[in-house]
Structures are given as C-alpha cells and as structure tokens.
Structure 1
Amino acid sequence: MDSNSIVSIVSKFSKAWGQMLGSVDVAIDLGTAVTRIGIVGKGIVLKEPTFIGLNTKTNEYIFFGEEAKQIYGKTPNFIKIVKPVENSILSDFDACVALIDAFTKRAVFPYYAHNRLIRTGLNAYVSIPSSATEVQQKATAEAVKRVGYVRAMLIQKPFLAAMGAGFNIFGQTPIFVVDIGAGSVEIAVIIMGGIVASRTLILGGDNLDRHIANYIHLKYGIITGELTVEGLKPSLLNYENHDASATIRGKSLENGLPKSVKITSSDIREAISPAINQLIDGIKEVIETLPPEIVDGVFRTGAVLTGGLGTCPGLDHFISSEVKIPIIASQSSENATMQGLLTLATQKDVLPRILV
C-alpha cells in the first residue's frame, strides 16, 4: 500500500470519527427576508422566510418560517407575527433565538438523528453585515450559542458574497462586490483578504417594497398589503424595456372597499428610481475613495452583483451604464452569501484572517 492510499484512509477515518463525535459545521445566513441554513459537505438544507409567530396569551412561538409569513397581516390580536431581523441586524433577540432553534431542529438534526452527541458538537459559521457594531456582533453570536452551538464564528457579508460568486478574496486582484439583500446593500472592494473601501446602504428589497407601496398609494389611491407588493418585483421588475403587467387588489382610499388596479413594469421602475439612484451614488462614492492603483484594477475587472435583486433582468447593465465600469450579475446571486459560508468553512487555514 502506497503513502497516498494510507493518507486517503486516514482522512476518511478522521472524517467519520469526527461525525461520530458530533462535530458538525453549520452555515447560517440570517437574512432580513430569508434565512438559509447549510451543512458543510451537504449543501443548503433550509431556505425559509425570516418570520415567526408569537401567541401573546401563552407567550409561546407557534409559527415559524413560511407558515408564519403566509398569515402575516391576517391574524387575530393575540397572534403577533414578528420579523426578528430588520435591515440585516437582529431586532428581536428572543424571537431570533426561537427561530434559529426551530430551523436547526428542522434542518440539521434529521441528518444526524442517530447521533446523541450532536448538540455538543455544533459549530456555526454566521454571516454578519460589515456595518454591524460590536454590540450587534455579540448579540448575533449569543443568539446562536443560546440554541446550543458550541462556537459561533462571524464572517462579514462582502467576503461571503464575493467568495460565493466564485472569486478569490485572498488574491491580489481587487474584487468589487455589490450585495443587494432585503434589508441592506453592501458595497465593498476586497483585496488580499481585506476590505479597502465599503459602504452600507439601507436600500434593500424591503425598502424598495415601501417605495412601490407609496407609489401605488399616491397614483392609484389604494392601500396594499406588504406581501402583495413584495410579489410584484419578481414578475414585473426588469430593466430590459420589457413591459409586463399584473392586476392587484387593495383597499380604496375613497370608500374603504376593495379596488383592483393594473400595475406595469414602468410603474415599478418609476417607483424605485429614487432608491436605485441612491444605490448608484453609493457605488460612485466607494470608487472615489479608492487608491489610484486599485481604481485601475476595478475598471479592468469590473464589479459583481449579488443578492436577491441581482436576479433582476438588465439591472447589472443599467447600473454599469451609469457608473461607467463593467458590472455582471452572479450566476448564484440569491445564494451567494450561503455558498461563500459553505466554502470558507472548509478553508480552516485562511479562515482566521477574516473572522470578526
């Protein structure tokens, strides 16, 4: 038996022994709109809305994820639907702990149900906004540990988005990443495992929904629900001059009765134009702060668009025409942060360089 075969056998034995002892690496992306959980070596095992339902009579959390989102705005007074993450930051600590606990039991434990020691061997790799304060970072780590994770390792989102989009964040070529999530936009330039310039804007998908709701309110005179407005973006929002339409129903401002109106892609683009212009200004401001040599590299390599809004047809070309640098949308735009977590969790040699 040659040395390579021995090394291979030892590696497989070590991996199996580690699983027997309950050491499991779990990736957690606590998004404002969607929470994703992945297991290193298995991939993404859960993708659920970041919603939770509280029975205020019994003080118990009884609805989690999709089931909580579906009844948002439709519940009796004693059922409170909570969004425990706002603008990418924990806003309700207890609700967040309950949500992580429910999702961990649902998504992680079934893979290791035979292992009674799993509770003592869970390691969490958690995404965190680059703008998070020390208090917010500690709150996120504590929420994860309360569930039973032994360690909670925090990694800033720009690193994860770039890594998930297929870039080497430890190389000498600058990486310009624009990550548009539901709660915030992370704009950053990364080189050799460090962020040389960055900016966080509260301009995520939820903010765009509010712009759309206000626009419909003023132009068509109806009040719409949050979930109704949220559903318009995937079907109508595009920057390819393709004008689609959809009919929605809301509450008339005139008499309070139901009223239906037709919304077009042009309406959606017009509604969010102030926010998109602010995003473009933010990208320009980050470019202006860069050293000359890095600016040259950015103009040659361009920027990558990630996050939920990165899937919007034509948005990358529209922004590119405004900021005058190449911009492409990542092929794994929606899951870029989670893919980055799963990748970096396996690179134990370089991981300490970017941990918060």
Structure 2
Amino acid sequence: PANIQAMRPLRDGVIADIEVAEQMIKHFIDKALGGPSRLRRRSNIVVAVPSNSTIVERRAIRDATSNAGAMNVLLLEEPLAAAIGAGLPVTQPRGAMVVDIGGGTTEVAVLSLGGIAHSSSVRVGGDKMDEMIVSYIRRKHNMMIGEMTSERVKQAIGSALAPEGSGTIIAVKGRDLVNGRPSEVSVSEAEIAEALAEPVGQIVSAVRAALEQTPPELSADIIEEGITLTGGGALLRRLDQAIAAATGLPVHVADNALLCVASGAGLASEDQSYRGILMAA
C-alpha cells in the first residue's frame, strides 16, 4: 500500500537510518521489559558492534540506543559476543578462532585472554548472498524475484559447494522480464551454489588471510580447537566443509548459531568475569 513503506535501519552491520533504528531499539526494549514502562530509563543495554566499525558509527549506535530509553550503553565487539555465546574459552590463555557470518558483515577473529589478537571484517553476509541469488536468476532465467523469495531459496537449497549433478530442484515464482507476466521456473541446487560462489569465496579468503596473520602460539591452539562458525550465514549448507577444505583445519558450526551474538551479549552483561571486555560507548 502507498501508506506503508518497508525500511531497513541497519545495513552492513551499522546504522543507516538513525530515526528508524531508535524506534526499532525502543520496541525491543519494551518487549524485553514486558511492555512500555516508566522504568525504561534504568535499563542497561549491551550492543554488539562490528570489530572494524568507526568511532562515528559507534557513536551513532550509542545515540540511537540512548534516545530509545537506555540509561547505560555498553559496546561489545561482535566476534567476542559470538565466541561467548558459542561457549568458547575467550578469557583463558588459549587461542580460539570464530567466524561470525551475519546479515551485513562477516567477522573473522582470533581471540585469547578476553581480547582480540587479530580480527578482520568483510562486508559480505546473508544479504549479499540474497542479492547474488536475485542477480543470478535475473541473468539466467530472465525473471525478477524479491528479497524474501531469494532468502527462501537460499534456505531451501543454498549450498557453499556444488552437489553431484543438479541436486535438489525447486520451483521459484517471480515476474518474467520479457513479457512482464507472473512466471515460474525450476532452479537447482547446483545453480544456487554457482550463484553463491563469489560471497562464499570472499568469506573463505577472509578466513585464510586471518590465519596468515595469527601469532604462532595461537595457531597451535587453533589446530587443536578448530574454527567455530556462528551467525545465520553459518547455517548455509556445506559452508563448514568449504572452509575446512581451504584451510585444512577442523570446522564446526556452533549450537544455536543464529543467536550466538545475542546470547553472548547477554552473558557478558550478567557475568562479572566478562566485565573487562565491555566498552563504554
């Protein structure tokens, strides 16, 4: 309808529309507190931010959260939040590697003693994968599909590695670009793997680059512990196999990978042993 506009306040892991972001955060605060409350001003909030976000971007996050009703805003770098949520020993003198694949960014970090020994961030994530599927189907089948359809295709048959043969085939509906009419085409798992080859390649390259920059002492720990994948993008089929093949290291997807960053931020705010890794906004 003309009176309804879909907006995305966050893009590439940072705030793109501060006013809408404030309303979104306010809604989440009210939901967490069980409804609008006059006590909202007493709430303490931990916000996970990309490790390479700038001071300006972090200030925008702080301002939006404060304006939404938070009394105290603490920031936590996303790789640390993901590692805590995945149950990795981030405060111990051992190296651990986490790859957090979110909607807008992929964070690759080597952690030890409650800090980040090395981190890198690439602006590739679930959103980029959706865009590549839209572009591929438009180019290959002359059909336009929306973002939600693209995400459903990714969840249904998305894969980081091509299957033997065509793999699973599903019907995808959209608008034919030749005659403008609603249309339906069959799309295979192999085609979607081809569409996702570029973003998957960028994620694998980021992991390999991080391993090259890792101190030798921590590299020995990573050989034993392996690489942990978190975030919604980690649920892409055979992504762990693709990274394992490229690095020669054991790779596993964290339990409840989708919520690792959120649960890690919650644990960091409640557990006193993590207090040293929270940053004042």
TM-score, L = length of structure 1: 0.74
SS of 1:80's partner is coil
Counterpart pick for 2:23 among 98, 106, 116? 98
Shift in CA distance, 230/350, structure 1 to aligned 2, threshold 3 Å: closer
Q: CA RMSD in A?
A: 1.7
Does residue 147 in structure 1 map to residue 68 in structure 2?
yes
Q: Contact 2:46–2:269 at 8 Å: present in 1 too?
A: yes
Give the aligned partner of residue 205 of structure 2: 281
Identity %: 26
Higher strand share: 1
Secondary structure, aligned partner of 1:186 = strand
Per the alignment, residue 220 of structure 1 pairs with 141
Residue identity in the other structure for 1:298: I
Between the aligned partners of 1:273 and 1:296, the Cα distance in structure 2 is 30
Q: Secondary structure at the match of 2:272?
A: coil
Q: Which deviations, in whole Å up to 9, do the C-alpha atoms of 1:155-204 show, x marking residues without a partner?
A: 01000100111112111111100000111100000011111111101110
Higher helix share: 2
Map 1:40-59 → 2, pairs under 5 A: none
Deviations 1:60-82 (A, max 9, x none): xxxxxxxxxxxxxxx32x43211
* Conserved 8 A contact 1:240-1:314: no
Partner of 1:245: 169
Q: Give the SS at the match of 1:335.
A: helix
- Indicate the SS of the match to 2:258: coil
Query: How many Å separate the matches in 1 of 2:266 and 2:206?
Result: 29
* TM-aligned CA deviation for residue 217 of structure 1: 0.8
| Structure 1 position 120, deviation (Å) | 3.1
Whole-angstrom CA distance in 1 between matches of 2:127 and 2:150: 10
CA contact (8 A) 1:178 1:185 kept: yes
Unpaired segments ≥5 residues, structure 2: none
Q: How many angstroms does 1:344 deviate by?
A: 1.1
Match of 1:153, as an amino acid? L
Offset from partner CA, 1:285-309 (integer Å, 9 cap, x none) = 1111112222222122111000002
Of the three residues 310, 333, 336, the one matched with 2:260 is 336
- Where relative contact order (Cα < 8 A, 6+ residues apart) is larger, the structure is 2
* Partner Cα distance (2:45, 2:123) in 1: 26
**Is the aligned partner of 1:125 residue 2:38?**
no
Contact 2:101-2:233 within 8 A present in 1 as well: yes
Quick one: which amino acid aligns to residue 211 of structure 2? Answer: I
Q: 1:325 aligns with which of 245, 249, 256?
A: 249
Q: Output the TM-score relative to the length of structure 2.
A: 0.93
Q: Distance in 2 between matches of 1:166 and 1:351?
A: 16
* Preserved CA contact (<8 Å) 1:194 1:354: no
What residue number does 1:36 align with?
none
* Matches of 1:154 and 1:336, distance apart in 2: 16
Q: 1:273 offset after TM fit, Å? A: 0.4
After superposition, residues 155-304 of structure 1 pair within 5 angstroms as 155-238=76-159, 239=161, 241=163, 243-304=167-228
Q: Where has structure 1 moved over 3 Å in runs of 4 or more?
A: 238-242
Instruction: For 1:334, give the aligned amino acid.
Output: L
Letter in 1 for 2:224: R
Query: Equivalent of 2:240, from 313, 316, 319?
Result: 316
User: Matched residue pairs, number?
Assistant: 277
Match of 1:55 in 2: none
Pairwise CA distance, 1:264: 1.4
Q: What 5-or-longer segments of structure 1 have no aligned partner? A: 1-74
Q: CA deviation at 1:354?
A: 3.7
**2:239 alignment partner AA:** L
Question: For the structure 1 residues 333 and 218, does the alpha-carbon distance in structure 2 shift closer, same or farther, using more than 3 Å as the test?
Answer: same
